Amino acid sequence: MKGLMATIIIGIGNPVLTDDSVGIKVVRALAERLPAQKDTVIRELSAGGLRLMEALEGFERAIIIDAIVTEGGEAGSVYRLTPSGLMQTRNTCSTHDANFVDALELGRSLGLLLPREIGIWAIEAGDVRTFSEELTGPVRAAVPRVVEAVVRRLNESGRQAA
């Protein structure tokens, strides 16, 4: 059950920049929703790129939750993405080192044990320009939906959720 079976769930974003914090809010809710399990690790991160790739090392599966801003997107919309998908979420890249796709390729070419399955949940943000710990309404409403979706995903693969 350990090692190869382990799952890491990462919420990424700035916890004090309104909707940019949605990934963090989702994983905090997940931490309450899921019973402590040895094979599921929940983490918060503030920077993507190499740092995100490093956080994935040693896990079989990863679930990443981040905010996204798309052209004409409706705040609170939820998207399922894969790392190879063309869309970049707000924080999976780092302007200071590498984008996530390059970081993953680097990790794999160096022989690091990286997850075979990486799922990204991206939530369309409304406001990412104002300092606040609160989410805007539509984004707040999306949090339980994403939490349920992640729990379902874990259950589908045989994980035990509360």
Partner 1 sequence: MKRISINPITRLEGHGTIEILLDEQGNVANTYFQVPELRGFEQFCVARRAEDMPEITSRICGVCPEAHHMAAVKALDKLFAVEPPSAAKKLRELFYMAFFVTDHTTHFYALGGPDFILGPDAPPAERNILGVVRKVGLEIGKQVMECRARNHHVIEMLGGRAIHPTAGVPGGWSKSLSEEAGAEVQAIAEKNIEFALFTLQLFDKLVLGNSAYLDLVTSEVYLHRTYSMGTVDENNRLNFYDGKIRVVDPDGHEFLKYDASEYASHIAERVEPWTYLKFPYLKKLGWKGFTDGSESGVYAATPLARLNVCDGLTTSRAQEHFERFYQTFGSRKVNGRFQPVHYRLATHWARLIELLYAAERMKELAMDPEITSPEVRNIPQRVAGEGIGCVEAPRGTLTHHYVTDENAILKRVNLVVGTTNNYAAMSMSIKRVAEKLIHGHAVIEEGLLNRVEMAFRLYDPCLSCATHSLPGSMPLIVNIRNLRGEVLKSLRRD
Number of residues in the chain = 162
To the nearest whole angstrom, how small is the minimum distance from the Cβ of residue 42 to partner 1? 14
Phi first, then psi, for residue 154 (nearest 5°) are -65, -40
Residues that bind partner 1 (CB under 8 A): 13-17, 20, 44-51, 54, 68-69, 88-91, 93-99, 102, 105-107, 109-110, 112, 128-132
To the nearest whole angstrom, how small is the minimum distance from the Cβ of residue 138 to partner 1? 18
Q: 64's torsion region: left (phi>0), alpha (psi -120 to 50) or beta? A: beta
Given the complex with partner 1, which of 75 and 154 has the nearer CB atom?
Answer: 75
Given the complex with partner 1, which of 18 and 40 has the nearer CB atom?
Answer: 18
Residues 6+ apart with CB under 8 A from 122: 65, 66, 67, 68, 78, 79, 80, 81, 87, 89
Given the complex with partner 1, which of 77 and 99 has the nearer CB atom?
Answer: 99
To the nearest whole angstrom, how small is the minimum distance from the Cβ of residue 91 to partner 1? 6
Q: Crossing angle for the helix pair 22-33 and 137-156, nearest 10 degrees?
A: 50
Given the complex with partner 1, which of 1 and 110 has the nearer CB atom?
Answer: 110
To the nearest whole angstrom, how small is the minimum distance from the Cβ of residue 123 to partner 1? 13
